[in-house]
Amino acid sequence: MNALECPVSSNEASSHVGLYRRALDDWWRVSEFEREFMYRIEHGGANGRVNIDTVVDLDNLRAKLQKWHCEGFVRDDEAHTSTPPHRDDFMMRLRRAVAAQAGQAAPAVQASSVTIADTSIAKGAGGPFVPAINPAYLFTARANDIVENQRVMLIGHTGAGKTSLIEQIAARAEHGVLRSNMNG
């Protein structure tokens, strides 16, 4: 199976329903919604609380299932089977990227934090997933609100700068970024 193929059968709607776990304290639950081809997805942790509860259509669910499988989530009834082949491919590419970085010269000792938009944040470990710094990028006054928070939802029209803001914060703080478009 190719990493870009959907990891579940598109013919059986009920095959999507279930509990997907990566660890005992990290799970996604999929259940059928009252409308046909609509699904409720919930995310929770060890405390048992649901921190994400939303409804998606079948196409979006397939995209989410693909993402979850790439992140190592397996359905409870699949937990005792071998690792899905597309996960092996993803992990192999990730190991290659880390190995390529290890072959580079050792970075100079740097400060443990960086100031972005008047807010000091901890520096990351760097690596192949750190975006390039755009020296012409200007942070607006509202960027402090985003930099200070750990969880944010950015909403706006195409081209408004949602992705570039996150990428430039990550670039300056040397945090890696994996981008996943969640649309139809």
pLDDT tens per residue, range 16-25: 788 888 876 7
Confidence bin at 152 (pLDDT 50/70/90)? confident
Q: Which domain holds residue 151?
A: 113-173
Tell whether 102 is covered by a domain.
Answer: no
Tell whether 106 is covered by a domain.
Answer: no
Tell whether 182 is covered by a domain.
Answer: no
Tell whether 6 is covered by a domain.
Answer: no
92/117 same-domain check:
no
Q: Indicate the residue among 65, 97, 129 that finishes a domain.
A: 97
75/40 same-domain check:
yes
93/17 same-domain check:
yes
Q: Please state the domain count of the chain.
A: 2
Q: How many Cβ atoms are within 10 Å of 107's Cβ, its own excluded? A: 10
Q: What are 52-99's pLDDT values in tens digits?
A: 888 888 888 888 888 888 778 888 875 544 444 455 556 666 667 777
Confidence bin at 143 (pLDDT 50/70/90)? confident
